[in-house]
Structure 1
Amino acid sequence: MNESILIIEDEIKIAQLIADYLTASGYTTHRLENGDDVIPWLQDRPASALPSLILLDLMLPGTDGLTLCHHIHDQWPQLPIIMLTARVEEVDRLLGLELGADDYICKPFSPREVVARVKAVLRRAHSRDSVGDDALNQLVLDEEGWRALADGKDIELTAVEFQLLKVMMSAPGRIFSREQLMDHMYRDHRIVSERTVDSHIKKLRRKIADAWPEREIIRSVYGVGYKYQPEE
């Protein structure tokens, strides 16, 4: 398999247990206990020696897990991160994922579950890395990972942004009214203003523009709504 996992966990028994199960599954493991050691450890390694995936505890001595997740995602965006934490509040989960985490496991957990999640996240990562020429110059939706790939580049979307893009891409060239888009955005039929749709579209366009700076594939139709129009 020749894949390595960096375990960043200050609880030694938990870290050792995870390492034992990962080793038994064919992975090489490295362990760090203090958040302050993580970025220097990664910076000292050439790209070829970086880990395949990082298991990152939220509560660490030194730099905390959320801060590390943000820095790692900025400097090494290709590195998958699974966060480990005893804090189960929804805000922590969403914040961790928005900062770049690929998955989130709450303690206490089964080490077998950790191994299964590692395998699943690595499969998604390998799928992104192996995008062939047929996927270039295309925008592709990864429905399992709730993200989009533009020329193989990962575009991380919120659930609402993903749903908006999915709806418009289902019928290229079709104009969707704001009301129609709202029905797909919020299945509970909550009451929101049409400006909410405009705000989500603006954020979605900005994220796509970061990957495709000179393309406009989500177009406004004055007085009507929006459509997905891939360039020829």
Structure 2
Amino acid sequence: MQVSTIHSPQPTDIQGYIHSIETCGTVDGPGIRFVIFTAGCPLRCLYCSNPDCRYIENGKKVSVDTLIQEIQKYTSYMNASGGGVTVSGGEPLYQPHFVTEIFRRCKALGIHTALDTSGYCDLQVAKPVIEQADLVLLDIKSYDPNIYAKVTSVSLEPTLAIARYLNAIHKPTWIRFVLVPGLTDAPHNIEGLADFVATLKNVEKIEVLPFHKMGEYKWGQLGYEYQLKETQPPTAEQVQAAHAIFHSRGINVA
């Protein structure tokens, strides 16, 4: 598996490519968070809300110094709410040196750090980033390898390897699973994921995220074919059924 990365310059001049930032995010980790969406992603998820993040060269080049200056404007909100900084994407592990330095600088300032990742990365490349993260939000998009490949166009195994490593080092982790009717909602798929997560002692909770089509218009603007046009969001009953499977394994569900 090949992972594109930015070269590793001296810490004082590390730069990377971002898609955007959200200054007061509330859904990507605890509290109020400064969320950095990086550019570049090796996955091609059928339901992706940010298909404009696919290619790193389409991002905006920015230095860690610039980001830290901006982050410090929001420390009062983060401190009061128990929040911090989350790096999401795209795929943050596509730019490991850049993200590691963001986290290192944040931790030096006492700011909580969270990594939102698909886990599709060579483990040795990911380790320095994980070391600097206080929390990992790990997206496991399917447990059935065939469904995973259909959803993402890549292999599941790197994500499972990172999940096992996070457990081995006792890194606080939230698992994220998108419930897509007719795609990821097969009972055997959810049960397989529940059985796997139940073996991980570091997982604080699993977030079942109902499928939505808020990013569909971007696909059209970019000339991409959106294959889930006819797929509807899950019903409340379907979401509750997924929750029940995770609850039956003793897993905290959000």
Q: TM-score scaled by structure 2?
A: 0.28
Tell which structure's C-alpha radius of gyration is larger. 1
Q: TM-score scaled by structure 1?
A: 0.30
Structure number with the bigger relative contact order (C-alpha 8 A, sep ≥ 6) is 2
